[in-house]
Structures are given as structure tokens and as C-alpha cells.
Amino acid sequence: MNRARALVNDSYQLGAGRILTNKAPFTVEYLNSALEEVQEKIRNNGVITLTRDNVIVGPLPPLPASDPKQQTSLAYTGYYTNGVWLSDPKLPSDLVAIEKVWEQIEGSGVPFSPMTQPMEGLPSVYQGPFMRMYEYRGDALWFMGCLSSIMLRLRYTAVLPIIGSDQINAQTQAESWATTSINILSSTNVLAQLVAARYAEARAPGSPGATTAAANGDKYMRLITNKYVRMKQRIRYNRKAYGDTQNQNSRTTNNLPY
């Protein structure tokens, strides 16, 4: 925020500002709006900063009997099974996009097995010991259900919590912001520019200052994403040879990963 104030020439009172202050009611909205934009760009560019992995959820209780018309659902509010909603388990509150799902029979001690996504909805089947498939729809995970108690392992993209307005209403800047953290590396420049752009646009719509700040925000965002793109380019990949059945599930051998 000190940097954003410097960009809009409001670095009075030792950087605390006169208009774009931390206690101004619009400040937290500008910052949250900028934070949401940065996160969307991070997700769209495949930056792994917001990736959560090996998140264990469960157990998901079994169906009482095999029934081809049954489906179960894991949502933010609980678990739907056999026609009723249970308050637990539930999806992590910071989940915004599922990347991969694995399953394990509770208490088996065996490695989690990957689940697959059907192309056109879940099939109608007689349930067995495993879920096998999942579908993400309506902001929930849907399954065919199974006859075992299942633990899930999730890999997903997360969202950072918004900065609450109660932090603005505190008496001093130290009380308001000292414990506020935004866990995105190297994001100070891009967030400051986006806050400045919103501030300038609100006071002079279409102003060159607002346009310049927004363009600078995009520039700093590209610098962040380029760092992770180059990191991914260091991983060596090749196509699996036709008929090759060796080390299909291993990335620890000398073979290149597929």
C-alpha cells in the first residue's frame, strides 16, 4: 500500500497517505479486487503458487447397497449420499479448481489410486469397492458411490482469503495491517500498480495514469509467470514408445517421464 500511495502521489504522513489510507473504506476493496485479478492470472498461466497437493479428505461413507441410480456428492457444505446430506466430510473451503483426485479404501494402508473423469457424465453402474470415477459439476465432486469407506487425496488450485473490512476499522495502521499477509512471491509491484489503477480510474475515468498503471500491472504479472514457465521448461518429457509397458507409473527411474 505504501508503494501504491507513492504511485498516486499520496505518500504524505510518512507514507500513510491522506486519501488512499489503510483505513479508508475503499482501500480494502481496491486491494481485494487487485488480489483477485492477480490470482485469476496466476491460475490461467499455470503458476503453481496456489496449488495444494496431498490434501486428504474423508472418510466418505459407503452406500448401504449397490444401486445403479445412486450418485454421491462432496460439496463445500458436506457429503450427499443415499438421499441425505451429511455435514462432514466436505470440500476444502479454499478450493476453486480440482486438478487430480485419488482414492483409497479407509484403513487399507495401500497407495492411493488415481481416479478418472468420464467425458460425458458418470455412467449408471452396480457399485463395487471403489468409486473409480469423478465428475466436477455445480462446484462439487460427484461420484457413482461405492460399497467401501473411501479416503480421497486431492490436488487442487486454491484461492487466498480476502482481506476483511474489520482490518480497516482498527484504530491505527499497525493494528490494521501488521498481521495481514499475501502469500504470493514477488507480487508487491503488480498489486501496487493494480491498486493505483483502480484508484486513478475512480477519480478520473479513462485517465492516462490509470491506463499506464494497469499496463504496468500486466508487465509485472508477466515477469511472475515467466519465472514459473521457465522452471517447468527444465522438466524433460518425451512420448512413450509404442508398445512400451515398462515403468509406466514410475518417474524415479532413468527413463524420461511421460
User: Which one has a higher pLDDT value, 78 or 177?
Assistant: 78
Residue 39 pLDDT:
92
Q: Which cell numbers in the block locate residue 159?
A: 484461492
Q: What is the pLDDT averaged over residues 136-156?
A: 95
Residue 245 pLDDT:
59
Q: Residue 142 in 3-state DSSP?
A: strand
Q: List, in sequence order, every residue forming a beta bridge with 101; answer none if it has no partner.
A: 154
Residue 204 pLDDT:
83
Lowest mean pLDDT of 140-149, 188-197, 212-221, name the range: 212-221
Look at residue 180 and tell me if it is in a domain: yes
Domain containing 22: what range? 2-47+161-233
Q: What is the pLDDT averaged over residues 233-240?
A: 70
Residue 253 pLDDT:
47
State the pTM of this model.
0.77
Residue 169 pLDDT:
52
- Reply yes or no on whether the pLDDT at 257 is more than 60: no
Residue 175 pLDDT:
53
Q: Which of 59, 76, 61, 34 is nearest to 196 (CA)?
A: 34
Look at residue 252 and tell me if it is in a domain: no
Residues 75, 143 within the same domain: yes
Residues 93, 127 within the same domain: yes
Q: Check whether the bond before 89 is cis (ω within 30° of 0).
A: yes
Q: Which of 230, 204, 209 is nearest to 45 (CA)?
A: 230
Residues 74, 118 within the same domain: yes
Residue 110 pLDDT:
94
Q: What is the pLDDT averaged over residues 61-87?
A: 94
Residues 30, 66 within the same domain: no
The count of structural domains within the chain is: 2
**Where do the H-state alpha helices sit in 143-187?**
173-177
Q: How confident is the model at residue 251 (pLDDT cuts 50, 70, 90)?
A: very low
Q: Which of 130, 158, 186 is the last residue of a domain?
A: 158
Q: Which of 97, 93, 90 is nearest to 39 (CA)?
A: 97
Question: Distance between CA atoms of 254 and 201, rounded to whole angstroms?
Answer: 55
Residue 258 pLDDT:
41
Q: Which of 110, 140, 158 is the last residue of a domain?
A: 158
Look at residue 244 and tell me if it is in a domain: no
Q: List, in sequence order, every residue forming a beta bridge with 95; answer none if it has no partner.
A: 158
Residues 79, 142 within the same domain: yes
Q: What is the pLDDT averaged over residues 123-147?
A: 94
- Residue 135 near residue 115 (C-beta atoms within 8 A): no
Q: What is the pLDDT averaged over residues 26-37?
A: 92
Q: Which of 158, 187, 222 is the last residue of a domain?
A: 158
Question: Distance between CA atoms of 122 and 144, rounded to whole angstroms?
Answer: 7
Q: Which cell numbers in the block locate residue 93?
A: 473451503
Look at residue 258 and tell me if it is in a domain: no
Distances (CA, A) of 191 to 4, 26, 34, 39, 209: 8, 15, 6, 11, 16
User: Any residues with CB less than 8 A from the CB of 149 and at least 6 apart, and which?
Assistant: 58, 59, 60, 61, 62, 105, 106, 107
Residues 167, 43 within the same domain: yes
- Reply yes or no on whether the pLDDT at 174 is more than 80: no
Q: How confident is the model at residue 252 (pLDDT cuts 50, 70, 90)?
A: very low
Residues 28, 154 within the same domain: no
